[in-house]
Structure 1
């Protein structure tokens, strides 16, 4: 399973840069393997990301903006969905991964199952 994070390496938006750093920083800190796909430096990445964000997840006007998260080509969500999952200690579930033993998410799942 490959987590793909679509980013823009040369975005003029500080908000987009901070969101990208937040997602990538979390994945790195938790040793979650991922691939960074730059839509600014690679037209194929930009085209693929825009075509594969589901219609109901697109902005009313304009194109979908990074960061966008996929797993093996399946759309998982944008920064807001990632942030919500993180706030609810459900990032591993959001990413389709098994939470590591001892993590808050694994502990929460154990309590639910008990």
Structure 2
């Protein structure tokens, strides 16, 4: 399966931008392969992200492994703090 991070390159939210960058930074530092999907480029990608998250109003960043939903930034942050990133990512 492929780890996917859904994000937005055009968010006006500083909080969202910082959350996205922290996810990218941590995954990069651990040499974890993932793809970035910019939902601002395609409404189909946004719809897919929301379907996987089972939330019609979900906002990025959202993390999935294949078609399995891992969680949002808060869940990612908790997993990192608890040393459970591998479990969270279903890797």
Report how far residue 51 of structure 1 moved: 1.8
For residues 85 and 72 of structure 1, the distance between their equivalents in structure 2, rounded to whole angstroms, comes to 19
1:74-105 CA distance string (max 9 Å, x none): 101000000000000110111112xxxxxxxx
* Root mean square deviation of aligned Cα: 1.1
Local SS of the residue matching 2:10: coil
1:15-55 CA distance string (max 9 Å, x none): 0000000001111111100010110112211111112212x
For residues 50 and 85 of structure 2, the distance between their equivalents in structure 1, rounded to whole angstroms, comes to 23
Q: Which of the numbers 66, 73, 77 marks the counterpart of 1:79?
A: 73
For residues 95 and 51 of structure 1, the distance between their equivalents in structure 2, rounded to whole angstroms, comes to 18
For residues 74 and 96 of structure 1, the distance between their equivalents in structure 2, rounded to whole angstroms, comes to 8
Counterpart residue number, 1:19: 19
Greater relative contact order (Cα < 8 A, sep 6+): 2
Where do 4+ consecutive residues of structure 1 move more than 6 Å?
Answer: none
Larger Cα-atom Rg: 1
Gaps spanning 5+ residues in structure 1: where? Answer: 98-114
TM-score (norm 1): 0.76
Aligned residues: 91
Gaps spanning 5+ residues in structure 2: where? Answer: none
